[in-house]
Structure formats: C-alpha cells, structure tokens
Structure 1
Amino acid sequence: MTEPDPRDDSRLGLTVTHRRYVPYAHAHYGGALVDGAYTLGLFGDVATEVAIVMDGDEGLLAGYSEVSFLGPVRAGDVLEATCEVVRIGRRSRELRCTARVVARAEPERGPSAAAVLDPPLPVVEATATLVVPTP
C-alpha cells in the first residue's frame, strides 16, 4: 500500500488572519516605534488559531527558522498578521507568517488622524514551526 502524498493534503494553504490596533502604551522607542517582539507575539496568536482549526488543539509554536523585519511598526498602526500552512508533517506544521500595516496614525494632521494604507505596508515575514499532539 502506498503512502498518500503529503502535498495532496487539503489543509495545505489554510490561512488565518488577525488584525490588531497597536496601542500607544506599546511604544518602546523614539518615533513611537514598537519592538519586533510585538509582531512575533501576534504571529503566536494566529498560529494558535491555525492549530485549533486544523487539529482541535492549541498546539505549541516551537520556533522560527527565519524572521525578516522589513519596516517599522509604530503605535497607532493597525497590523494584519497572517499565517499560511505551507508544510504538514505528522506532528508539525510549517507556517509562512506575514505582517502588514493596513492603517497608520498621522499625528502631523491631528492628534487622532489616521489613514488606511493602500497597498498595505509589509513589515515582518517569518517561517514558523507549529507542533501539535500526536493524534
């Protein structure tokens, strides 16, 4: 009997997206910059939902094999974080994670001014490994 081809798994390509407003309380550096760990934490939340949807368990985000910080995240941003399943193992799932700024504060226009960014601004890309319990 032949093993099924893992590339034929219908769960490949499963994509989950969260959006979150970045509060000013998270500004850590000059220019209202937010540290990179903020976005990695958001990826962890999205990966948890991926595990729940795929496996009925929260799983564990075991690590990142690659992280690229492409642009700044600032307080007042609205971030969109997406994780897509790109490989499925027996207990692991490889995720392609991306974060984009979809809206940004514009304090130069006024204290509560903001604008939607079209197109969104890519700020972080990562490859993550998610581990789930043995079925």
Structure 2
Amino acid sequence: MTREVGFTVTHRHYVPHSHAHYGGNLVDGAYGLGMFGDLATEMCIQTDGDEGLFAGYSNVEFLAPIRAGDVIEGTATLTRIGTRSRGMDFEVRVVCRSAPERGDSAADVLDPPIVATRASGTVVIPAQD
C-alpha cells in the first residue's frame, strides 16, 4: 500500500442525461461531491486497505457548471497523513462537453479542461491492529 503525501487517484465518467435537474441540462452541485466520495473510498483502499469514512469537508468551491453529456475527470490527492485521519484535496474537471448546436451526438474535447468543483476534506480509517 502507498502512504505518501502527493499520492493521487483519478476517475473519469460520462454524465448521463438522466441526472440533469435544471435548465440547460445542468446537474446539481452535489454531483461532483458524489464523485469525491468515490475518489476518497479508492484512496483509502489504496493507502490503508479499508474503505474508510468521510468525516467532512473543510472547503468546497463550485466554479463552473457540470452538464448532462459532459465527460468529467475527478482527482483526489493525499495531503495529510494522521494516525487515523487522511487529508485530501479534490478536483473535478470537465474534459469533454456535448455540442448540440452541431448535432444530437456531437461533442468536443476541452483543451484545457474546465475546473468545475474543488474541495478539501478529511476521511478516517479504522485503528490499525
């Protein structure tokens, strides 16, 4: 298992249209936070061999919209290692976005990606035997 500050895990996935809640095919801000939970779980498995539990966020920033049809990439970076707690920084970027003005299935790769959500949080893991 890797237990070094700076270790990262990354996930990518497509945002389905069934998740759009608002005009303009917007998804709610919690969508990115859900991805952060999944990233934190993998981070804990990679670093401690346990899924851990999310204790809380110390900061959350919603910087740009996430829309149905986007491909998003989320990254968690280990920033602090305590006895039973782990600090992490999170970021979700939109790496592809649909382009309905060009056609029903048209989409663009975004270069550079759009940073949609950032956060910092703490997870706890069980005491080591």
TM-score bin (small chain)? over 0.9
- The 4+ residue runs of structure 1 with deviation greater than 3 A are none
1:79 matched to 2:72? The reply is yes
1:129 matched to 2:122? The reply is yes
SS at match of 1:82: strand
> Offset of 1:84 from its aligned partner?
0.1
User: In the aligned structure 2, how far is the partner of 1:39 from the partner of 1:106?
Assistant: 21
Question: Which letter does structure 2 place at the counterpart of 1:126?
Answer: A
- Percent identity between the two aligned chains: 61
> Offset of 1:61 from its aligned partner?
1.1
Residue number in structure 1 paired with 2:89: 96
Question: Which letter does structure 1 place at the counterpart of 2:37?
Answer: G
Would the aligned equivalents of 2:9 and 2:42 in 1 still touch at CA under 8 Å? yes
Which of 18, 23, 35 matches 1:25? 18
User: In the aligned structure 2, how far is the partner of 1:106 from the partner of 1:52?
Assistant: 37
Unaligned runs of 5+ in 1: 1-8
Would the aligned equivalents of 2:3 and 2:47 in 1 still touch at CA under 8 Å? no
**CA distances 1:46-76 after superposition (whole Å, capped 9, x unpaired):** 1100000000000011111100000000000
Residue number in structure 2 paired with 1:13: 6
> Offset of 1:10 from its aligned partner?
5.5
Question: Which letter does structure 1 place at the counterpart of 2:117?
Answer: V
* TM-score calculated relative to the size of structure 2: 0.96
Unaligned runs of 5+ in 2: none
> Offset of 1:11 from its aligned partner?
1.1
Question: Rg larger in 1 or in 2?
Answer: 1
Which of 29, 33, 57 matches 1:36? 29
